[in-house]
Chain A
Amino acid sequence: MIKVCTQTFGHKNPSSIDTYIKLGGYSAWKKIITEKTSKSEIINTVKESQLKGKGGAGFLTGLKWSFISPNDSQKYLVCNSDESEPGTCKDRDILRYNPHSVIEGMLIACYAIGASVGYNYLRGEFIGDQWNVTNNAIKEAYDQKLIGTNILESNISIDIIPLIGAGAYIVGEETAMLESIEGKRGMPRIKPPFPAVQGLYGKPTIINNTETLSSIPYIIKNGTDWYKNLGEGDSHGVKMFCMSGHLTKPNVIEAPLGTRFSKLLDECGGVLDNKKLKAVIPGGSSVPVVKGEVIMDTPMDYEPLMKIGTMLGSGGVIVMDESTCMVSVLERISRFYYAESCGQCTPCREGTGWLYKTLVKIRSGHGSQSDLDLLNRVANQIEGHCICALGDAAAMPVKSFLTNFWNEFEYFVEKKQSMII
């Protein structure tokens, strides 16, 4: 079994600094500050490892780092621990079981981009558990002088600071997160300027996902070839897959990128109660749904999933069996985007409401054929017309549910009831 971000999982006191160090933790960071490794060398290593952002967009991490403005101004790193994409529950495990890998990853990233401060922004609902673990872990690292002023007499000073949100899906969007850290409503900014040029408080800023930063120490320590070779087939590296829905044993599994869906399904004990697989949303509720038989043999990686019309997204794999009413599921997904739209762009603010209300109308037995066309039309009017990706995320499920399960929607508007008994 591969263990990168999950290395400490299952150990006694997994979140403690002693456990982390015993397993080789902080050796990458110590080596960097002792040898004063050049920033470009670190960025190149991350680039060559092909590490892609694990939050959803899948952008090459090393490339993102290389965009940091080279001027001498204050710079910031932000770790995005605002895990809120429906179906995604991996960062919460990293934060509670392997928090030091995130801290070490943040330190290395800060060093590589020239930032003296790294903020780790946790979603507000993590306040009961992950927030305490994160605060304790950061304190442990300060006590061992791995963070702070003049770290281990190296003349390098970096602060790692935990922040907490207060409930807003949109803050997971990187520029909305910057607004939130600045103490404002989480409303995404127009890009460009990109955060790497003008980010937090107007200063150059890099924002990376928790799982991404947690991978960094292991890549630096073990090398790019090691990380790349962890992938299956043509794929590079690993990913945490959050397996939820109709499964015998739902679980978070760290597996090689390129692992076939069928294998992940087997590892979860197959479909619950031996029912037939109907559909899968492979990357959190924002990505298109696909039919079960289409994804079964697909390698779970960015390109192969694109080929079958969907995306890897955050790795939130939602599995649905034959008893699932797709109209109900889409109604629930649409309610989410309606509730979470920040209201800044008209197509998203109004469109998500139209989508949700139309789906409520259909599911309550008052829909007609023209409502199905309306759904497609509204989805098309939102897509690509907003500042951030939330609008697209609301539109993509609608279009894919209609395309893949048209007969089920048609049945509902004709018979005024679900096709699923």
Chain B
Amino acid sequence: MNISLSDKIKKEIDSIKSKFPDDQNKSSIIESLLIIQHENNGYLTNELIESLADYLNVQKIDVYEVATFYSMFSLKPIGKNIISVCTNVSCMLRNSDQIVNYIEKKLKVKIGESTKDNKFYLKDEMECLAACNGAPMMQVNHINYENLTYEKIDKILDGIKDD
């Protein structure tokens, strides 16, 4: 049963499928999961995973494997706006640990948690995001913000509307 996939999503999946040979439906799993997750407030459910398996006509385990292997997929509900602070070497040398501490205090969360109002999710285990010359840096909803200062962080996070 793929009741949970909207017609809009199905159309997008069909266009992803056209990127690959006809007999290679598994290839569409990753990009399909990304759009399904995006549509479902940033996380995947078992029902959605199984619906995609049905729609692509692949084994459910195939989709589960992908959903649990790649770090951008979340299997639990998370805050609306995702904050990823890079803490790898280049950023660490430019005090990214202090950036994480500042955001933790500001939002009253620990890394890996979402705020009570569910507005923000501070992602854990954030590895190099390939913006090392702009260290320290973070991504908010996959947009890069570089050369961070506390003032800059205030401006970025305070500027995100509730809607």
Q: Could you list which residues of chain A lie within 8 angstroms of chain B, going by C-beta atoms?
A: 83-89, 91-92, 119, 123-129, 161, 163-169, 180-186, 201, 242-246, 250-252, 281, 285, 316, 318, 320, 324, 328-329, 332-333, 336, 339-340
User: Besides A91-B130, A244-B135, 4 other CB < 8 A contacts?
Assistant: A165-B70, A168-B71, A184-B66, A329-B92
Decide: B130 and A201 in contact? CB cutoff 8 A.
Answer: no
Decide: A166 and B132 in contact? CB cutoff 8 A.
Answer: no
Decide: B65 and A185 in contact? CB cutoff 8 A.
Answer: yes
A183-B70 CB under 8 A given contacts A125-B142, A163-B19: no
* Cβ-defined partner of A250 (8 Å) among B84, B89, B132: B132
Decide: A127 and B28 in contact? CB cutoff 8 A.
Answer: no
**For residues 17 through 59 of chain B, which have their beta carbon under 8 Å from a beta carbon of chain A?**
19, 21, 24-31, 33-34, 58
Decide: B70 and A168 in contact? CB cutoff 8 A.
Answer: yes
A128-B132 CB under 8 A given contacts A180-B30, A183-B29: no
Decide: B27 and A281 in contact? CB cutoff 8 A.
Answer: no
Q: Could you list which residues of chain B lie within 8 angstroms of chain A, going by C-beta atoms?
A: 19, 21, 24-31, 33-34, 58, 62, 65-66, 69-73, 84, 87-90, 92-94, 125, 127-135, 139, 141-144
Contacts of A124 in B (CB 8 A): 34, 70, 72
* 3 nearest A-B pairs in the assembled complex, by CB-CB distance: A183-B26, A128-B142, A167-B71
Contacts of A251 in B (CB 8 A): 133
A164 to B129, CA, bound (A): 15
A289 to B27, CA, bound (A): 38
Counting chain B CB atoms within 10 Å of each CB, which of A83, A128, A251, A329 scores highest? A128
* Cβ-defined partner of A129 (8 Å) among B73, B132, B143: B143
Pick 22 A–B contacts, CB within 8 A, sort by A: A84-B128, A87-B88, A87-B89, A89-B130, A92-B130, A92-B131, A167-B73, A169-B127, A181-B27, A182-B26, A185-B65, A201-B21, A201-B24, A244-B93, A245-B135, A250-B134, A250-B135, A285-B89, A318-B93, A332-B88, A333-B89, A336-B128
A371 to B90, CA, bound (A): 26
- Expressed in whole angstroms, the minimum distance between the Cβ of B22 and any Cβ of chain A is 11
Contacts of B132 in A (CB 8 A): 86-89, 242, 244-245, 250, 316, 318
- Say what secondary structure dominates the interface of chain A: mixed
Decide: A164 and B131 in contact? CB cutoff 8 A.
Answer: no
* Cβ-defined partner of B19 (8 Å) among A161, A201, A318, A340: A161
Contacts of A87 in B (CB 8 A): 88-90, 128, 132
* Cβ-defined partner of A182 (8 Å) among B24, B92, B128: B24
A246 to B72, CA, bound (A): 30
Decide: A332 and B133 in contact? CB cutoff 8 A.
Answer: no
A165 to B29, CA, bound (A): 10
Contacts of A246 in B (CB 8 A): 93-94
A187 to chain B: closest residue by CB:
B69
A64 to B113, CA, bound (A): 46
Decide: A183 and B128 in contact? CB cutoff 8 A.
Answer: no
Decide: B93 and A324 in contact? CB cutoff 8 A.
Answer: yes
- Expressed in whole angstroms, the minimum distance between the Cβ of B119 and any Cβ of chain A is 19
Decide: A164 and B34 in contact? CB cutoff 8 A.
Answer: yes
Decide: A184 and B65 in contact? CB cutoff 8 A.
Answer: yes
Decide: A164 and B30 in contact? CB cutoff 8 A.
Answer: yes
A339-B125 CB under 8 A given contacts A165-B30, A168-B71, A242-B133: yes
Decide: B34 and A252 in contact? CB cutoff 8 A.
Answer: no
Contacts of B142 in A (CB 8 A): 125, 127-129
A58 to B133, CA, bound (A): 23
A252 to B90, CA, bound (A): 13
Decide: A318 and B89 in contact? CB cutoff 8 A.
Answer: yes
A318 to B94, CA, bound (A): 11
- Expressed in whole angstroms, the minimum distance between the Cβ of A95 and any Cβ of chain B is 10
Contacts of A281 in B (CB 8 A): 89
Counting chain A CB atoms within 10 Å of each CB, which of B29, B34, B72, B133 scores highest? B133
Decide: B144 and A86 in contact? CB cutoff 8 A.
Answer: no
Decide: B128 and A85 in contact? CB cutoff 8 A.
Answer: yes
A213 to B161, CA, bound (A): 41
A125-B129 CB under 8 A given contacts A167-B70, A332-B92, A333-B89: yes
B93 to chain A: closest residue by CB:
A245
Decide: B92 and A125 in contact? CB cutoff 8 A.
Answer: no
Decide: B133 and A243 in contact? CB cutoff 8 A.
Answer: yes
Contacts of A125 in B (CB 8 A): 72, 84, 129-130, 139, 142
Counting chain A CB atoms within 10 Å of each CB, which of B127, B130, B134, B141 scores highest? B130
Contacts of B65 in A (CB 8 A): 184-185
